[in-house]
Amino acid sequence: MSKSALVVVDMQRDFCEGGALAAANTPSLLQPLKNYIDEARRHGVLIVYTQDWHPANHSSFKVNGGPWPVHCVANTPGAELMPPLVAQAGDVVIHKGVGVDGAAYSGFDEATLEQQLREKGIDRVGVAGVATEYCVRATALDALKAKFETTMLEDLVRAVQDKDVPTAVADLKQAGGKLATSAAWLAATK
């Protein structure tokens, strides 16, 4: 029997509406994602949250010569999970981009995620969150490289630019990943 993990990518205040680097339409994602996480837990799915957790002098910030506004600085409100999402005991929380250099788009950039999934016997991951064309895409592609069966949950992701979603989906499919609704993915965990 397959063991599954739901990887919830970067659902942090700074990536949601009103944040420093907000993806589009995040208000419509929050409650459905919370409900889905609760349901997935009831099905025995491991919940994983990735969070950008940058030092204030991170190289990706415009003020330091990078492309992005200051966002998700470690231990600030902008780096917190966006309510109503809350990590619970037994969930895995991965902080990424903790060094000064490197964008750290993927939850697998900090090598502990693959190790933790292997230790828990996970062989199948569903990827949700933000932003489809950046961190969701990178996390899904790295999950595939690590040989996890990987599905992007099309109804539980949001992009910064919707025009870039087809490229992200094409990259996922070309690498052997799948695209499915969250209901179809969860139904296949049984």
Q: What's the start-to-end Cα distance of the chain, in Å? A: 8
Residue 97 belongs to domain with CATH number: 3.40.50.850
Number of folded domains in the chain?
Answer: 1
Cβ–Cβ under 8 Å, residues 48 and 92: yes
Look up the pTM and report it.
Answer: 0.96
Which residues share a beta bridge with 180?
153
Domain that holds residue 12: 4-187
Q: Is 155 exposed, middle or buried (0-12, 13-18, 19+ CB in 10 A)?
A: middle
The Cα-based distances of 143 to 96, 122, 149, 151 in angstroms read 15, 11, 8, 10
Question: Active-site positions?
Answer: 10, 96, 135
Q: Kindly report, residue by residue over 88-147, the tens digit of the pLDDT.
A: 999 999 999 998 987 789 999 876 999 999 999 999 999 999 999 999 999 999 999 999
Cβ–Cβ under 8 Å, residues 187 and 40: no
Q: Kindly report, residue by residue over 39-86, the tens digit of the pLDDT.
A: 999 999 999 999 999 999 999 999 999 999 999 999 999 999 999 999
